Chain A
Amino acid sequence: MNRGTHPHRLALPAGILVAVAFVAPMAWMFLASFKSIEGIFSLPPRWIPDFTYVDNYTKLLSQNWVFLVNSIIVTLGATLLCMVLSLPAAFGLVNFKFRGREFLADWILSTRMMPPIAAGVPLYIIFNTIGLLDTVWALIVVYAGFNIPFAVWVSMSFFRRVPRETIEAAMLEGCSWAQIFTKVALPLTRSGIATVATFVFIFAWNELLLALFLTTRAAKTFPVVISSFVTNSMTFWEMIAASSVIQAIPPIIFTLLMQRHIVSGLTMGAVKD
């Protein structure tokens, strides 16, 4: 039987096949980013490009670096705002006993069902009225809000692991809730909070639909720019290849760093890994 430390002899080749199936398409785009327009679609294909050819990247970034900066500002700002709002709420929902606590937690979770498309037009009108349309502020505010249900719900599962006795001991020493939160709960749940923040970061980094609604020129994010390389008349493949590689770097790094927490993160704690 193929158990224990000696897997079936076909297991490793099969595993390699699976990994190739998932990596090869991405690798093909990565290789394309080092090819000229002619090389991208040459037949027969040019398998290995000249890696010193970086014109696509220099052309892309010289014209669009502003939008990459937008993306970074929006993503970091939204992640920070989302955590500042969500962590105290999650802590409160775990530690305070009050009537309607369960209902409030369920209500927060249920707002995740809200499809972004149902908020696009109202948010457009609101931000247009207050003059924040096409600013990074609008996207920071919106992305932070849309990730609150996720951040609260998953953070709650981490705050629940803080031992009761620790909190009671702090209370007996006369600590206020604010002190318990900042001096006891946050340090004890550091790694969990980092995981939550990373997810919020990636969700915000990947978002397209609301960015299409809320930005027109100045505040465009990188995904909006990438999607604009596909036009009705032609598709700028060399730009798409280079921008896709840049866009994929943060998700790839974070996926490799926190793969242990991906299942519990994406199922909002419903499945432990």
Chain B
Amino acid sequence: MDSASIYYLGVTLLLFLVFAAIVARTYSRKQKAKGEQPKYRMMDDDYPSDEKKGGRDVRRK
């Protein structure tokens, strides 16, 4: 196996691990409620937020 093949294999494994991590995080019990929250919030988006300023949601704090 030459260095190029080892590199490709490494990238493939890395991508697989990243994907596995995404799946594990998405389906973790801790994330369950948070992960499903956007589907409820999008049902009522007819008006912009009342916040006068732009920037990310202050509720994060």
Q: Do A and B come from one complex?
A: no
Q: Show the binding face of A for B, using Cβ within 8 Å.
A: none
